[in-house]
């Protein structure tokens, strides 16, 4: 019995002890009852005043006037002190602990003092007055306990001390005539102690839950801010990227304070960098980029922003008076600095620089136009022998004429079947089987020779020809991959296509005509359109998902996408941009950031595809981080359908049988509805 009783007694005693080990809980308790203490003391003062009026006797001034007056004065002083507190905002944890200890002691002392005074004057009253006294004593006890409920030790001590003294006194006074009232109050006191105990458990759990929620929110915000920082920072060099540059230009443009010749852009393209990459490998090229980035950072003035805007391209934004002259001086120095040799892996490597300059020397220039002019000036140097500096001249806009010519060629190419669709494998990260294919447009039969997609896609978007090009890719890909059973298909969607109100009907019509199962189709979109028209984008995504398709956010990590966007748009997949894989090595910062991105997406029930995987080491890190699918040159270049079929069929039968997904689902009513409308 003693062994069982020992822990029980210790547990009972713990109910009355102060627990100040958790500063957050102590602060919350103090803040809570600091708002209740003025009320407690006011109740005590009013009860004391009421009893003083009822029991006042001129022949017993000390009992009936002086003592209650002292109680009232002390109560008012304490009420005023608590009233002036600001909920512990300015108190340290140590000060709060001290105030809690003092409050526990004073609460018991004041309650017992009030009861002792009540017992002292009990005999002075008649039966009616004694009834009042009993009522006010019980009311004071209950009020004190409930006002102190958030501080368990104080409430329990007051309840126990006041209840026991009340019960003991009224069990014997007046030959036990008040025994019933004493017993009733005993049960009331016990009930209050139980309620206080349970309330404190819930209160403590609430405070801890709020703290855990704040911690998780802080971690989430930190990760979101880190993603935003990554989106505005070049992963390899650590410099601001193109988006950051455009953001700064946009802010300057929006401010409307830029005067003539106060803005200039120096656009730098490295000469011979591709040759170094080809001859010495990407590691040497990356090391060279880092070295040049560090050297450019040292020579850039305070009024300038240095950004890496492409693989071997840099831009410097100058915001200062006489920006054109400053840009020319800086460009000359940059050319000399970049031309210095660099020792990498025992090899002396050297590159040059073609530099273009554009400024607002003649007045206002749109931010994008300013960057375009600097790029045009740089391109002009590239075509004239490289290694020089040029200030933009309208005559350089011959490139614009070429764009117009390519725009006309695109229309002819579609009419003459010059375009083709290539397919790049996307493999399961865990098994290595080809799980899907990304459809990519190519222009192999162009009369003047093949043209790289990045050289004509932008032109097609600007001229509106991206719509027929996009539908051509979608229809051809659906027909080509239709026989591949459960193999999934990914198709990039231009923001211009997404803006088209009839795009959903067009997609539904293509699926209807090709009999391609909608659950096998995944549309990939970038965030540009999402940020511009979020509500319309959400509606379009919901309609596509209702048709049975999945939606992937492409190039994740290069824009401004936040956790809010990921939750709002309902993506089923995200594609980690290849720029985030730069420097991906075990234990590197890039590895931690990519792993965090994968955890974030998985936590939001999204599957993750990593593109641009070129080494087995990158693939292994992504597998261990939980990435679902991998895409890149390590697994295959974009290839015609015949080569893709050979690669697919060359897989072991066990792998091809393991291709993802359930059997084809019946066509959704939404898809049939869109198809009928488009027909």
List alpha helices for 558-640, DSSP H. 563-569, 589-603, 616-625
Q: Are residues 150 and 21 in the same domain?
A: yes
Q: Which residues of 465-477 are buried (b: 16+ CB within 10 A; e: fewer)?
A: bbbebbbbbbbbb
Instruction: Tell me the whole-structure pTM to 2 decimals.
Output: 0.46
pLDDT score at 529: 57
Structure tokens at 136: 């006010």
Query: What totals of helices (H) and strands (E) does the chain contain, helices first?
Result: 26, 15
Q: Are residues 187 and 313 in the same domain?
A: no
Domain contains 167: yes
Q: Are residues 429 and 382 in the same domain?
A: no
Domain contains 173: yes
Q: Are residues 269 and 326 in the same domain?
A: yes
Q: Are strands 304-308 and 313-319 parallel, antiparallel or unpaired?
A: antiparallel
Q: Are residues 145 and 286 in the same domain?
A: no
DSSP-assigned beta bridge partners for residue 631: 426
Domain contains 671: no
Domain contains 479: yes
Q: Are residues 382 and 449 in the same domain?
A: no
Q: Are residues 66 and 145 in the same domain?
A: yes
Cβ–Cβ under 8 Å, residues 144 and 107: yes
Q: Which residue is associated with the tokens 């614009």?
A: 400
pLDDT score at 47: 81
Report how far residue 597's alpha carbon sits from residue 566's, in angstroms, rounded to the nearest whole number.
12
Domain contains 229: no
Domain contains 344: yes
Q: Are residues 310 and 374 in the same domain?
A: yes
CATH number of residue 656's parent domain: 3.20.20.450
Where does a domain end: 392, 412, 445?
Answer: 392
DSSP-assigned beta bridge partners for residue 573: 552, 607
Where does a domain end: 215, 234, 261?
Answer: 215
Q: Which domain holds residue 605?
A: 421-660
Q: Are residues 444 and 497 in the same domain?
A: yes
pLDDT score at 341: 85
Q: DSSP states of 450-492 as a string?
A: ---HHHHHHHHHHHTTHHHHHHHHHHHHHHHHTTSTT-EEEEE
Structure tokens at 290: 């880092």
pLDDT score at 673: 41
Q: Are residues 119 and 211 in the same domain?
A: yes
- Could you give the number of structural domains in the chain? 3
Report how far residue 136's alpha carbon sits from residue 116's, in angstroms, rounded to the nearest whole number.
13
Q: Which residues of 589-610 are buried (b: 16+ CB within 10 A; e: fewer)?
A: ebbebbbbbbebbeeeebbbbb
Domain contains 678: no
Report how far residue 347's alpha carbon sits from residue 337's, in angstroms, rounded to the nearest whole number.
18
Strand residue runs (E) in 70-229? none
Where does a domain end: 371, 392, 413?
Answer: 392
The Cα angle at residue 382 between residues 379 and 388, in degrees rounded to 5: 105
Domain contains 270: yes
pLDDT score at 279: 67
Q: Are residues 375 and 442 in the same domain?
A: no
**Which residues, including other chains, have CB under 8 Å from residue 665's CB and lie 6 or more apart?**
517, 519, 548
pLDDT score at 511: 94
* Average pLDDT, 10 consecutive residues per value, the chain (679 residues): 49 64 76 76 82 82 85 83 70 77 78 81 77 77 75 77 77 69 72 74 77 80 74 86 87 76 91 77 87 92 89 91 91 90 82 91 82 88 78 81 85 92 94 92 92 86 88 95 90 84 91 94 78 70 90 75 69 86 80 86 88 91 91 92 91 54 38 37
Q: Are residues 578 and 617 in the same domain?
A: yes
pLDDT score at 667: 38
């Amino acid at each position: 019995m003693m062994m069982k009783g020992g822990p029980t007694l210790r547990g009972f005693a713990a109910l009355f002890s102060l627990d100040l080990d958790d500063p957050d809980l102590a602060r919350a308790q103090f803040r809570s009852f600091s708002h209740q203490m003025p009320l407690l003391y006011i109740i005590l003062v009013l009860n004391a005043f009421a009893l003083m009026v009822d029991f006042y006797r001129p022949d017993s001034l000390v009992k009936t006037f002086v003592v209650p007056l002292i109680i009232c004065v002390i109560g008012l002083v304490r009420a005023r002190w608590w009233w002036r507190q600001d909920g512990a905002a300015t108190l340290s944890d140590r000060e709060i602990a001290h105030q809690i200890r003092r409050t526990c002691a004073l609460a018991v002392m004041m309650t017992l003092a009030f009861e002792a005074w009540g017992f002292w004057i009990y005999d002075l009253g008649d039966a009616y007055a004694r009834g009042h006294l009993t009522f006010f004593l019980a009311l004071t006890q209950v009020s004190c306990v409930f006002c102190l409920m958030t501080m368990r030790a104080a409430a329990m001590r007051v309840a126990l001390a006041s209840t026991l003294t009340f019960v003991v006194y009224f069990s014997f006074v007046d030959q036990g005539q008040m025994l019933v009232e004493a017993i009733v109050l005993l049960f009331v006191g016990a009930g209050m102690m139980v309620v206080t105990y349970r309330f404190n458990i819930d209160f403590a759990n609430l405070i801890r839950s709020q703290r855990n929620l704040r911690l998780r929110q802080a971690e989430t915000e930190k990760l979101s801010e880190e993603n935003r920082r990554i989106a505005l920072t070049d992963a390899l060099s650590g410099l601001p990227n193109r988006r950051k540059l455009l953001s700064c230009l946009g802010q300057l443009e929006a401010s409307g304070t830029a005067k003539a010749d106060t803005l200039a852009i120096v656009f730098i393209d490295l000469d011979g960098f591709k040759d170094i990459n080809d001859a010495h490998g990407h590691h040497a090229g990356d090391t060279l980029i880092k070295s040049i980035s560090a050297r450019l950072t040292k020579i850039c003035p305070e009024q300038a922003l240095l950004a890496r805007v492409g693989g071997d391209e840099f831009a410097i934004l100058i915001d200062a008076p006489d920006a054109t002259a400053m840009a020319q001086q800086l460009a000359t120095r940059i050319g000399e600095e970049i031309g210095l040799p660099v020792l990498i892996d025992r090899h002396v490597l050297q590159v040059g620089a073609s530099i273009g300059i554009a400024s607002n020397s003649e007045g206002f220039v749109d931010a994008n136009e300013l960057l375009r002019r600097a790029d045009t000036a740089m391109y002009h140097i590239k075509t004239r022998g490289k290694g020089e500096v040029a200030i933009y001249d309208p005559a350089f806009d011959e490139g614009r004429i070429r764009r117009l010519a390519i725009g006309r060629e695109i229309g002819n190419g579609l009419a003459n079947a010059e375009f083709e669709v290539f397919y790049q494998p996307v493999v399961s990260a865990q098994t290595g089987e080809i799980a899907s294919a990304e459809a990519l447009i190519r222009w192999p039969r162009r009369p003047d020779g093949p043209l790289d997609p990045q050289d004509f896609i932008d032109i097609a978007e600007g001229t509106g020809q991206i719509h027929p090009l996009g539908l051509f890719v979608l229809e051809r890909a659906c027909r080509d991959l239709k026989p591949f059973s459960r193999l999934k298909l990914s198709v990039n969607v231009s923001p211009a296509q997404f803006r088209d109100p009839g795009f959903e009907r067009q997609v539904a019509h293509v699926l209807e005509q090709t009999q391609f199962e909608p659950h096998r189709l995944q549309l990939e979109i970038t965030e540009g359109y999402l940020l511009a028209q979020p509500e319309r984008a959400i509606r379009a995504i919901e309609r596509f998902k209702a048709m049975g398709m999945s939606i992937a956010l492409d190039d994740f990590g290069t824009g401004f996408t936040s956790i809010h966007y990921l939750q709002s748009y309902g993506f089923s997949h995200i594609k980690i941009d290849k720029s985030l894989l730069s420097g991906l090595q075990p234990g590197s910062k890039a590895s931690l950031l990519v792993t965090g991105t994968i955890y974030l997406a998985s936590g939001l029930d999204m599957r993750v595809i990593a593109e641009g995987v070129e080494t087995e080491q990158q693939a292994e890190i992504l597998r261990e981080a939980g990435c679902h699918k991998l895409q890149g040159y390590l697994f295959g270049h974009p290839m015609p359908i015949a080569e893709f079929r050979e690669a697919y069929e060359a897989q072991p039968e066990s792998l091809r049988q393991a291709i993802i997904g359930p059997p084809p689902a019946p066509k959704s009513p939404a898809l049939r509805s869109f198809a009928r409308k488009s027909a």
